Amino acid sequence: MTHHAPLPPEIARRRTFAIIAHPDAGKTTLTEKFLLFGGAIQMAGQVRAKGEARRTRSDFMKLEQDRGISVSASAMSFDFKQFRFNLVDTPGHSDFSEDTYRTLTAVDTAVMVIDGAKGVESQTRKLFEVCRLRDLPIVTFCNKMDREARDTFEIIDEIQEHLAIDVSPASWPIGSGREFLGCYDLLNDRLEIMDRADRNRVAESVEINGLDDPRMEQHIPADMLAKLREEVAMARELLPAFDRERFLEGSMTPIWFGSAINSFGVKELMDGIGTYGPEPQPQPAAERTVAPDEPHVTGFVFKVQANMDPKHRDRVAFVRLASGHFERGMKLLHVRSKKPMSVTSPVLFLASDRELAEEAWAGDIIGIPNHGQLRIGDALTEGEVLRFTGIPSFAPELLQGVRSTDPMKAKHLEKALMQFAEEGAAKVFKPSIGSGFVVGVVGALQFDVLASRIEIEYGIPVRFEASQFTSARWVQGPKDVVEKMVEDNKQFIAHDNDGDTVFLTRLQWDIDRVIRDYPGIKLTATKELM
């Protein structure tokens, strides 16, 4: 993960990250405070309803509010000190979604938010595992310290044990719940005192000369100070000291304690991401690894979002720039179609509004409006043929048939389904026999989300129904063997939205049988997108 020659300053100051959290841990609140301190919004409480782009997404929002889930992901940029932060929002729904995985391929760091009273929760663990697959550096924020929290050592132990990662305290909480005063900043030997009167104010920072500084007594009652001194001494003895190299390789996480709603600990966390967090990292491609400071622009699509503006049936492809300095109007090669593409109206996701991007650098996320040419996994370059790797397509774990309850609208349904397939919101399979479609997802909630979106965005009432199939595998192998297998198993064969052949299965036995009977055939659960 280390990069040797110094990067150009514009690239070096970029920090591209995502927040992972169990629902309710405080991801939204923390995002608001990031934007507040990043100067992107004037007051907290605006994230959910601000700016043209957000208003036009009100249909999504309705669903998000009804279900308490976040369906649409977006990216936000803001400045803090000398840093430019790019925060990529992870979708909050479903147990494990491909969306989340793909989002995490576009960032260099993850911020893991946990609730100080609840510790490591189920979703935290799953999201953490996804980060680990990519060796992403992880910064931890233990939130809600203004509520009765668990013992600090207990929280740290739980993270170390459940997630198998070393935890190094960057700050140490002083009390919790009603007694929570603030934190001792272990990295800078400072005292941070929380302001309970004004939730949007940055905490008071007191420079002190180590824990024994008598000035501590002016701020902390004697009994709490004694406890703090004892705990910090113990922590320094028992817990590993912060080691940036280990953090960057993903085997150690620094932890900050705070209260997002009280804006407390957030500034220190941002400082930490800025100071220690990785710069834009090299990106793997099939041909070679792409370094951020290469002069030519390259990037890959990690997300496609449709209907951000219901008046126009357009889509926005979210592109992570892997290298170079992008300027508006540039002509880029769309590698998959081998066609040039003029990027005349890219959007930069400045927090309060969608804004036209005049320029962007490696590490940034830009949105490119298009009519469906851009798909997940696509590469854009200044002419080189590159295929970025590492954005897999997963085999769905749940399959259902889908049909329109209004027969007049059956044709439109196909269009809607294809669009969601391109967006990566679901897998859509067209069986080679019969009519209708089979839709595959990785989390059950996705069926509800789809049904609701098809109804809201296309006006098509639909019904999902049980399917005899339970999973799907992509078929590969020698051409003649594949042809024979397809011929013999027509009732199990379908095609995905790229036209690739898929074998629909009911039981593991189906898979075993095909592998046994058709030597050389490969049935894969993932399909590397190119």
Q: Does 267 bind ligand GDP (CB under 6 A)?
A: no
CA distance 387 to 384: 10
**Region of 27-35, 273-281, 291-299, 403-411 interacting with ligand GDP (CB under 6 A):** 27-35
Residue selected from 3, 147, 196, 409 as contacting ligand GDP according to rule CB under 6 A? 147
Closer by beta carbon to ligand GDP, 24 or else 448: 24
CB 503 within 8 A of CB 482: no
> Whole-number minimum distance, CB 116 to ligand GDP, in Å?
8
Mark the segment that binds ligand GDP (CB under 6 A) among 140-148, 220-228, 304-312, 442-450: 140-148
Find the shortest distance in angstroms from Cβ 272 to ligand GDP: 17
144 touching ligand GDP, by CB under 6 A: yes
Q: Where are the alpha helices (DSSP H) in 120-265?
A: 122-133, 152-163, 216-219, 222-238, 244-248
23 binds ligand GDP (CB under 6 A): yes
Question: Does residue 378 touch ligand GDP according to CB under 6 A?
Answer: no
Q: Is 103 labeled as ligand-binding?
A: no
From residue 508, give the alpha-carbon distance in Å to each of 396, 429, 505: 14, 19, 7
Token pair recorded at residue 185:
């900043």
Among 13, 27, 427, 473, binds ligand GDP (CB under 6 A): 27
Name which of 73 and 321 has its Cβ closer to ligand GDP.
Answer: 73
Q: For ligand GDP, give the closer residue by CB, 191 or 260.
A: 260
* DSSP codes, 340-390: EEE--S-EE-BTTS-EE-SEEETT-EEEEEESS---TT-EEESS----B--
State yes or no: 143 annotated in a binding site.
Answer: yes
How many angstroms separate the first and last alpha carbons of the chain? Answer: 23
Cα radius of gyration (the chain): 25
Which tokens sit at 485? 């297998």
* Residue 144 C-beta: closest distance to ligand GDP, Å: 4
Among 26, 169, 324, 377, binds ligand GDP (CB under 6 A): 26
212 annotated as a binding-site residue: no
Count of positions (residues) in the chain? 530
Query: How near is the Cβ of 30 to ligand GDP at its closest, in Å?
Result: 7
Neighbours of 461 (CB within 10 A): 13
| Under 8 Å between Cβ of 360 and 347 | no
Instruction: Please provide the DSSP assignment of 3-46 as one string.
Output: --SPPPHHHHTEEEEEEEE-TTSSHHHHHHHHHHHTTS-SSTT-
Backbone angles phi, psi at 173, to 5 degrees: -70, 145
- Cβ proximity to ligand GDP: between 25 and 504 the closer is 25
Helix axes 58-67, 445-458, angle to 10 degrees: 150
Q: Is 91 annotated as a binding residue?
A: yes
Is residue 260 part of the contact set for ligand GDP (CB under 6 A)?
yes
Residue 24 interacts with ligand GDP (CB under 6 A): yes or no: yes
Residue 72 or 259 with smaller CB distance to ligand GDP = 259
Task: Please identify, among the stretches 139-147, 293-301, 421-429, 511-519, the one whose residues bind ligand GDP according to the rule CB under 6 A.
Answer: 139-147
Q: Which residues on neighbouring strands pair with residue 464, listed in sequence order?
A: 402
Q: Which stretch binds ligand GDP (CB under 6 A): 25-33, 39-47, 266-274, 444-452?
A: 25-33
| Least distance to ligand GDP, CB of residue 70, Å | 8
- The yes or no reply on residue 195 touching ligand GDP (CB under 6 A) is no
Binding test (CB under 6 A) with ligand GDP, winner from 25, 41, 131, 357: 25
State yes or no: residue 94 binds ligand GDP (CB under 6 A). no
90 is in an annotated binding site: yes
CB of residue 325 to ligand GDP, shortest distance in Å: 34
What is the per-residue binding string for ligand GDP in 207-236, x denoting contact by CB under 6 A? ------------------------------
The single residue among 152, 259, 298, 505 that binds ligand GDP, judged by CB under 6 A, is 259
Q: Can you tell me which of 11, 20, 21, 374 binds ligand GDP, judged by CB under 6 A?
A: 21
Judge whether 92 is annotated as a binding position.
Answer: yes
Contact status, residue 85 vs residue 116, Cβ threshold 8 Å: no
Q: Tokens representing 261?
A: 């709603």
Among residues 143, 305, 307, 471, the one that binds ligand GDP under rule CB under 6 A: 143
Interface pick for ligand GDP out of 7, 261, 335, 472 (rule CB under 6 A)? 261
Q: Which two tokens stand for residue 44?
A: 């907290």
Tokens of 140: 């931890």
The piece of 10-18, 227-235, 260-268, 270-278 that touches ligand GDP (CB under 6 A) is 260-268
Tell me how far apart the alpha carbons of residues 139 and 326 are, in angstroms, rounded to a whole number: 29
Where helices occur in 200-349 by DSSP H, the ranges are 216-219, 222-238, 244-248, 266-276
Nearest to 237 by CA among 169, 188, 176: 169
Measure the CA–CA gap between 365 and 345, rounded to whole angstroms: 14
- The verdict on 91 binding ligand GDP (CB under 6 A) reads no
Binding-site annotation, residues: 89-93, 143-146
Residues that bind ligand GDP (CB under 6 A): 21, 23-29, 143-144, 146-147, 259-262
